[in-house]
Structure 1
Amino acid sequence: MKNLSLAVFTLGFLGVAASGVSAFTSREGSRVNPVSDTVFEVVPLAGGSGRNFWCAAGDYAQRALKTPWEAHLYISRSHGSSETTNRRSAVQFTLQPALAGSPDNGVFASVNSLSRGDNMRVRDAFSLCNQLPVGF
């Protein structure tokens, strides 16, 4: 019985470890999970402002995907429930403009709008990681 319990525990641990391999944690603590080969989802710690979503997307694109600083990030799915977790707050990003409705580069209403088609350079998104929150 002891060996069976150890085997179940080990398999359970390996399953949890294997499922977390593809996840990425941004500098600010947001989780980034692949949705497909071309789309990834940013899930902030709690609620999150637009700055948190863009920062995590830029961080992931630069450090995990090795995307050039001048490449553009596009929102492919607006703010809503997560597809990769049970969280209520997530935004999906892509590096392919066709998956976001082919917007012009540099199109966004504001950092907090988080609407499909909004986009910015990886460098600009990453630079949002270094800003202090408003009112600090």
Structure 2
Amino acid sequence: MHDVVVRTERLALRILDTEDAAVLAVPAEWVRRKIVQQERLGFSPWAVTDRSSGEVYGFCGLFWRAAKGITLGYAIVASARGRGYATEAAGAVLGWAEDRQIPVYASVRPPNPASERVLRKIGMELDDHYWDEDGERLVYRRSPNPRSAGRT
């Protein structure tokens, strides 16, 4: 049985398992590193699953960036996009973090209007931007104390 961390109306966000690598199209080593992060820090990217069937739709959660802090990140598999899962999962993760007073930001490499819409829908606002080796990044944050979208 998988450990569910957050539930929403339609989704269960659970700790990743190495079996998720194939569905998520990521290396198994990436998943193993995220499992270690979960064990050490108490948070990580989590598998976004259908609450009823357990089907994996993607991942959403918190990434530790040594130089930059804790960032919200997500990816939904192509076959599950356009159904609001990213917004629902991201809102739930952000609410989970806020309940624990974990400061979180999100960054987007433009142009990425879909991700920017998700972040605005969960109450995050453009706060800053920076340039790194891959180009410009837009930084989104949510002001303190709003209630999260997608949380039950």
Query: TM tier, shorter chain?
Result: 0.3 to 0.5
Q: Which is bigger in relative contact order (C-alpha 8 A, separation at least 6)?
A: 1
Instruction: Give the structure-2-normalised TM-score.
Output: 0.35
Q: Give the strand-richer structure, 1 or 2.
A: 2
